[in-house]
Structures are given as structure tokens and as C-alpha cells.
Amino acid sequence: MLLLGRPIVLILEKNIKEELARTKVVPKLATILVGNNPSSETYVRMKVKACARVGIDSISYHLNTETTQEELLELIRKLNHDQEVDGILLQHPIPSHLDERDAFNKIHIDKDVDGVTTTGFGNMALGMDANPSCTPAAIMKLLKHYKIQVEGKHAVVIGRSPILGKPMASLLLNANATVTICHSYTEGLEQIVSTADIVIAAVGKPNFVKGSWIKEGAVVIDAGYNGGNVGDVDFESCLEKASAITPVPGGVGPITIATLLYQTVLSASKRKKENSN
């Protein structure tokens, strides 16, 4: 079975439009892009376009590669205090001379619609109210939509980044999966992957996961996106073994963007309710 993202995107965008009509709120998402990473520029354009499609206002800031940490933090502080801004997205990655974690953590928790702050991660991991990181949240939506059982299953997450691998493992654990996280220091990676009922590839290496690693009938989720529209999974070889698999593009990516918009709407509705009390 091919796990396509578009059916889920249509549902999310319908829910967004219904929520906006109900609350009469027009949310605003502020996006910050630092530097000239072509992939990041493409992602930001896609997000701005998606905002316009569903009725969310957006404002974009494109900072040059030489931007200092203080200049970046000053913009984040400005957006935190801007009452018209409901969500702040700092596009990852940012230039290496900047402290990304520090910048993420300066985003106010109420405007952390991308689920990147330390506080947001902690709340999410403990099952408390928080916007989860968008790609892991998108994957959970995909699994639910296609009625793929998570509870009691062995899920292997390949990758441990703070905005993908680690929150992915936490969400799966909260859904009662048994979770193994693999990374660059993992010994016997192929053998571990071969025991998984659900494999989630988030390693950032094109065609990294091979079909020979996959257990017959496993579900394979490709959360990677590399140059040339290539994921982290060797799609053709994994397709022969998997019972269900996501394509790249057209799988997780579109749901990630729709999830960002949905969480922006929830943030706006929450802020409006709090301000009216």
C-alpha cells in the first residue's frame, strides 16, 4: 500500500477552514529564513503559498548569511511581542555560526507552532498540552489515517535529531509502541531494523535504508528529503518487502506543512480565547 499524504492534507485544510469560519480569526504566521539554502527557500515558499490557500496571513523575514545571533534574537523578541503574530517559524537549518537551539528557545511557547522549543518538547514527551514537532506529528496523523496499528508494535526510528527523531520516538512511546532509536553510533543497525514492525527513516542520507533490512510486511515511513527529490529510503527495494510505504515526494512532506498551518490556527484560537477572558 502506498501511503499518500494528499488525502490527509485535504482533511486538515478542510478542518482549518471550518475552524477559521467558526472563530472568525485570521491567524498570522511569521517565517524567518536565514541564509540562502535552496531547499529552505523552497520550503518557506511552499508554506507561504499554503497559508494563502487556507486563509492564514503570513509575513516572511529573509536574513542574510552574515546575520548575528543578537540580530536573530532581536527579531524573535519583536515577533514574540507582536500581538498580531500567532506563530513563529524559524526555518531549519540556519548558518553554522548561529546557535540554533538558543534561537529556538527564544520563541515564546504560545507561538511555538513548529514544536521546536525545549519546553514544548518536554510537554509533548510527558503527554501534556503542546504543539509537537510538525514532521513527527504528521507521521502520527498518517499512521492513524491509514489505520496502521501502533500500540504494541516495535517501531525503529533511525535518527535522533531534536526536532524529528527524538520527538518521533516520544510520540510513538505515548501511543504505546515499543521504540528503538538508532543513530550513527548504533551497532548492528541492519539487524535492529529487520526486527521492526514500523520503520521511520529520519537520517538525512539519500537511499540509506535498504530493502534487505526490512522485515516482510513492515511499514516504512520515509521522513527524509534530499537533493533530487530522494528520500532516506531506497524506495524500490523497500517496496518489495513493505506492506505499506510512503513515497518521496508526496508522502510525509505535504502533511508536515498542513500540520504547521493547523497548529498555527490552534495557537490563534487559544490566544484569542485567553485575551477575551
Mean pLDDT of 244-252: 96
Share of the chain above pLDDT 70, in %: 99
For 255, the 3-state DSSP assignment is helix
Helix residue ranges, H only, 24-87 = 38-54, 69-81
Query: Tell me, what's the pLDDT at 277?
Result: 63
In the β-sheet with 57-63, what is the strand arrangement from edge to edge?
A: 57-63, 28-34, 87-90
pLDDT digits (tens, 9 = 90+) for 54-69: 999 999 999 999 999 9
Regarding pTM above 0.75, the answer is yes
Q: Give dist(CA 132, CA 168) in Å, integer.
A: 9
pLDDT above 90 for 39: no
State how far the alpha carbon of 217 is from the alpha carbons of 191, 197, 220, 243, 244, in Å: 16, 8, 9, 4, 8
Q: Is the pLDDT of residue 226 over 90?
A: no
- What pLDDT does 228 receive? 84
Total residues belonging to the chain: 277
Four-point Cα dihedral 66, 71, 76, 79, nearest 10: -110
DSSP structure class, residue 233: B
- At 37, is the pLDDT very low, low, confident or very high (cuts 50, 70, 90)? confident
Domains of the chain: 24-111 (3.40.50.10860), 134-252 (3.40.50.720)
Mean pLDDT over the full length of the chain: 95
Computed on alpha carbons and rounded to an integer, the radius of gyration of the chain in Å comes to: 19
Active site residues: 47, 91, 114
Provide the 8-state DSSP code for 215. Answer: P
Instruction: Tell me the C-alpha distance between 1 and 209, whole Å.
Output: 18
- Contact residues for 216 (Cβ-Cβ < 8 A; gap 6+): 241
Buried b / exposed e across 200-235, counting CB within 10 Å, b at 16+?
Answer: bbbbeebbbbebebbbeebbbbbbbbeeeebbbbbb
Query: With bands split at pLDDT 50, 70 and 90, how would you rate the model's confidence at 275?
Result: confident
CB 190 within 8 A of CB 167: no
Sign of the dihedral through C-alpha 17, 54, 114, 168: positive
Does 14 have pLDDT greater than 80?
Answer: yes
Name the pLDDT band for 38 (thresholds 50, 70, 90).
confident
Strands, sheet with 244-245, edge to edge from the N-terminal-most edge strand: 178-182, 154-158, 198-201, 219-222, 244-245
Cis, peptide link before residue 249, omega less than 30° from 0: yes
